[in-house]
Structure 1
Amino acid sequence: MKKFKILSLCMSLLVTSAIFIGCANNDKKTNVKKDTPKEINLTYVKAPLNVPSILEKKQNSFDNAFKKDDIKINWHEITSGPKQTQALASGDLQILHALGGTSAILAKANGVDLKIIGIYSRAPKAFMIISNNPDIKTAKDLKGKKIAGPKGTVLHQLLVGALEKNNLTSKDVNFINMGLPEGFAALNNKNVDAALLAGPVALKAIKNGGKIVANGEGIVDGTIVTAVSKTFLENHKDLVDKFKSTHKETLKFMKEHEEETLKKVSQEVGLTIEETKQMYKWYDFDITIKDKDIKELQKTQDFMIKNGLQDKKIDIKELISK
């Protein structure tokens, strides 16, 4: 009888242990499901001429890469830098694929915990000051004139840099904060003397008789980056690595299939093949973060602080993922 009681007690303990182990296993499975994202949300910015993004969306590059992980890819056409970084901070976006260096720095200074994982592009020639006024030939001639453009951007930095090269400041011009389409229209309607334009809009302005007063060469590289939230990077480094490797495959495809690439891109941006080819030459899409890129971002930060667009200085190297 005593042996039977001991045997019953042992059986009860075994059953209880099995239940606890089963629960623990279920908890582990639940945690795995919670930790692995069901979807990745990233930005789609095709202008001025973001060739990699256009191809990656058209060819379902990321959809195919993350299919094995059962992760859905959602593209979001958000072109405003501040809106992109706000969505990253709230968790609505995980990857900002083509974010202006100015927006990345400003977001970090304002407490958004993001990390730059690569350079998206550099294109000093793609950013321009254009005028229809025959009296405006150089940036020196902009003194006292009305100039339209987006405040706190690469184009704004170009304007300030071009003025400084001619011993002028932003106080010497009448700067009007305006988006690219609005600036283009204002220039055509002769409501402004010059406009800060980039990409296809700049080419259209030139076709309409506009002249290039200055571009970014020797002034600003026009650094665009790819950024992720620090939390997403720490929790899902494997997914970030897969994203980067897929992006590199796109860059390789662009080099090996240039004609096919230009055809697809021209259709998306509404340019001819020749116009697309002309613009394509202006861009460097190398993802590698070089010392000169860090210096360029530091120069961008100096511009924003000097012009009252940023209060708190940050360590640019801390912004970059190691």
Structure 2
Amino acid sequence: MTDTFTRLRRNLLKGIALTFLGASLLSGAAFAEDKPDVIRIGTTAPGHLKFILGRHDGAFEKEFAKDGIKVELVAFTNGGSEALTALATGAIEVTYTGNNPALRAAALGADVKAIGLSSFTKNSSTTIIVKPDSPIKSVADLKGKKVAFLAGTVRHSVFSKALKTVGLTTDDVEPLNLDFAASGPSLIRGDVDAVVESDNSTSKLVEKGEARVILDSNKYPEWSAPFIISVNGEFAKKYPDLVKRLLKVDIQLARWADAHPEDTIKIFVDETKTSEKSVRNTYADGKFYQDPRITPEAIKALQDEEAFMAEAKLLKGSVDYDTWIDTSYLDAAYKEVDSNQ
């Protein structure tokens, strides 16, 4: 009996010890997860303005260095769809993209949230270019021609809108899904008839006399819609304070740009290796439109863009704006930024 009691007592004490050890390990694990090791922020290449400014002076890294959190900045060369796929799968935590890939991800029900605006510049800064000696004079002349553009991007949408003005669709051309690193040289060689790309990318070819613009979307401000800052849903739920702090940095970068227009243009030109003339054209009169507030006007523009994408068969599903847009992080960020001024 005594031996049995001793054995039971020993087993009980061992169980209690293991319970405390397990609780300690769980507590340690929970503590270890109070902050991530790294925050990965993406953008579509060559980079959205606030991303470029933040990369230039290390603003994001400085904000999180005090927590021992590393920041990695990633520029995706294959467009916003690549960036949003990385976001939805957890390969990155936050990204700056155009409206088309962000709307597409939301319509598909991906676990991503729109938490702010990257920009709302009132122009989409897309051009359609051809060779200088091309017989193509207008968008209507593109029927049956080889046209290079990245599928699923804002440029894709702008091209569809341009074609619609002359009674055509993308079914009336031969599309090639190429980024500008491939499409630019292809145009010069004569492998494609036209290229649809951002004016930041095409401007150097135009200025060197190697290409001619047949359409500049900046003349069609009604085609514009805001660019989006998106966050991985799981990350936002787990680390709401970090999302708020990241948006505080974004707000500060937007305000810095407005206060330092010439420095902003110089940094963007130097960092992205794009044409200064093109950058000044995009940000005319030193106005950058970088305020991240998601205004009713911005939501209406996004809804209009979604409707066009659905009509042009560029979208599957529909967007639940109440679920997709979450301004709570940005509201908290503005409150803290403004209270410190």
Q: In which range does the TM-score fall when normalised by the shorter chain?
A: 0.7 to 0.9
Query: What are the superposed Cα offsets for residues 247-300 of structure 1, whole Å, 9 maximum, x if unpaired?
Result: 111111112222222222222222465554334338532211122322332233
Give the direction of change, closer, same or farther, for the CA distance of 1:283–1:140 in structure 2 (3 Å limit): farther
Aligned counterparts of 2:167 and 2:222: Cα–Cα separation in 1: 14
Q: Are 1:130 and 1:214, in contact at CA under 8 Å, matched by a contact in 2?
A: no
What is the alpha-carbon distance in structure 1 between the residues aligned to residue 148 and residue 91 of structure 2? Answer: 32
Residue by residue over 1:121-167, the C-alpha shift from the partner in whole angstroms, topping out at 9 and shown as x without a partner, is: 23425111223356544333333433221122111111111121223
CA contact (8 A) 1:130 1:205 kept: no
Deviation of 1:24 after TM superposition, in Å, equals 5.7
Q: What is the match of residue 326 of structure 2?
A: 321
Look up the SS of the partner of 2:229 in the other structure. Answer: strand
- The alignment partner of 1:77 has SS state of strand
2:215 counterpart residue number: 213
Q: Matches of 1:258 and 1:218 in 2, distance apart?
A: 22
Q: Could you state the TM-score of these two structures normalised by the residue count of structure 2? A: 0.78
Deviation at 1:169, TM superposition (A): 2.7
Match of 1:176 in 2: 176
**What is the match of residue 237 of structure 2?**
234
Q: Is the 8 A contact 1:122 1:223 kept in 2?
A: yes
Q: CA RMSD in A?
A: 3.0
> 1:138·1:214 contact (CA, 8 Å) conserved in 2?
no
Question: Could you tell which deviates more after superposition, 99-108 or 280-289?
Answer: 280-289
Change in 2 beyond 3 A, CA 1:105/1:163 = same
Same amino acid, percent of matched pairs: 26
Q: Aligned residue for 1:52?
A: 50
Secondary structure class of the residue paired with 1:205: helix
TM-score scaled to structure 1, two decimals?
Answer: 0.82
Cα distance in 2 for residues equivalent to 1:273 and 1:300 = 29
Q: Give the AA of the match of 1:200.
A: N
Determine which of 107, 110, 114 is the counterpart of 1:109: 107
CA distance in 1, matches of 2:304, 2:225: 11
> How many residues are matched?
305
Q: Is the 8 A contact 1:126 1:198 kept in 2?
A: yes
SS in 1 for 2:195: strand
> 1:316 and 1:180, CA in 2 relative to 1: closer, same or farther beyond 3 A?
farther
- Contact 1:46 1:53 survives alignment (8 Å): no
284, 299, 302: which one aligns with 2:307: 302
Structure 2 residue ranges without an equivalent (≥5): 1-15, 328-341
More off after superposition, 53-62 vs 203-212: 203-212
For 1:306 and 1:64, the matched residues in 2 are separated by 44
Q: Which residue of 1 aligns with 2:331?
A: none
Are the equivalent residues in 2 in contact too, given 1:154–1:222 (CA < 8 A)?
Answer: no
- Contact conserved, 1:139 with 1:214, CA < 8 A, in 2? no
| Cα displacement string for residues 56-76 of structure 1 (whole angstroms, at most 9, x for unaligned residues) | 112110111112222211222
| Paired position in structure 2 for 1:291 | 296
**Cα distance in 2, alignment partners of residues 145 and 83 from structure 1:** 27
Contact 2:39 2:71 in 1 (8 A): yes
